[in-house]
Amino acid sequence: MPSRLHFGEDDFLRCRFAMSPLWETQEAVRMLKRPERQGYHAHWLRRTGRVADSLDLTDLWLLMPRRGHCPDWLCPPPIGPAATFEEEIAAVRASEPEAARADTAKSLADTPGALESPQARRWLADPARMIRELSDAMEQAWRTLVAPDWPRLRTLLEADVAFHSRRLAEVGLGGLLPEISRRFGWHAGTLTVEFKGEHERHLDGRGLVLMPSVFIWPDVVSTFEPPWQPTLAYPARGIGGLWAEPADRTPDVLVRLLGRGRAAVLAALDEPATTSALAHRLGLAPSSVSAHLTLLRDAGLLTARRYGHQVLYERTPLGIALVSGDG
């Protein structure tokens, strides 16, 4: 079922990009519970597995229904383009208790039996205590799961924002949104998002926040009820190579398996690239690189995606594992 966001004249002037360490923390916690989101993060999961096991994430998972509402107060829209986690969690701790209580009750109602759980009853009876406990849980998750890798994550998110900002200047908002995700459609000032629930909202001059996310893949989220600013979260570009360590040279075993040309092309894709960019980087003819890319894609080692007149190639999880030598 679709979610529809209707733009007025003023909304086009109030669209912005943002990043959120708080959002990445929430989505990292969610990803640990959802195997279908883990394809690009196998290396991260292996490295953080034992540390993650030491966390008690039960309370946070209780407010992450498979389908339905998640409390906006616990992870509100980014308060600025480069807000720190400390600034964001301070805003969460300052949430108004009765508003947080109503928001939480709405979320609990979307998980069968959750409203009757002892923890839910305690929270709804004492929302100020709930805010403290859940803020503490989110902060611990940040320090354990996300903060050690935040410089790497932030670099990827910044690159996504830079790329899509350029595309916005080139093709406008109506051209950009369908490029960001195949689930986004644009017609006559209305953005349609293919989503698990049906939602309709007129932006009424509030504009829209566009937010790349690392851990949200492969989903998109059209989120936040009034009074929160409407926000679209989408998978960041380049997550295929996020956790792979760059190789000094093409691994010999990869050369023996694929042949020197195809191995060099696969190893060069540390970030998404076009045929011409790879040809220039490797000193090969574009026709040769194109043939290698086609074979690698057919073998399930690459994906291809069109951005305007360009086609960008990116490693799949299998391609990443081959290059990095992960078993």
257-281 pLDDT, tens per residue? 899 899 999 988 877 788 988 888 7
Residues 326, 319: Cα–Cα separation, whole Å? 10
Cα–Cα distance, 190 to 181 (Å, whole number): 15
Under the banding of pLDDT at 50, 70 and 90, the label for residue 3 is: confident
Residue with tokens 């960008």: 312
Q: Residue ranges of the domains in the chain?
A: 2-239, 244-324
Q: For residue 197, what pLDDT band results from cuts at 50, 70 and 90?
A: low
Averaged over 27-35, what is the pLDDT? 92
Whether pLDDT at 314 is above 90 = no
Place of tokens 């220039």: 280
Q: 17 pLDDT band (50/70/90 cuts)? A: very high
Q: Reply yes or no on whether the pLDDT at 207 is more than 90.
A: no
- The hierarchical CATH code for the domain 244-324 is 1.10.10.10
Q: Is the pTM of this model over 0.75?
A: no
For tokens 């894609």, the residue is 297
Average pLDDT, the chain: 86
Label residue 93 by pLDDT band (50, 70, 90).
Answer: very high
Checking if the pLDDT of 202 tops 50, the result is yes
**In this structure, are residues 42 and 217 in contact, taking their beta carbons and an 8 Å threshold?**
no
For residue 213, name the pLDDT band (cuts at 50, 70, 90).
Answer: very high
Residues 159-177: pLDDT tens digits? 888 888 888 888 888 889 8
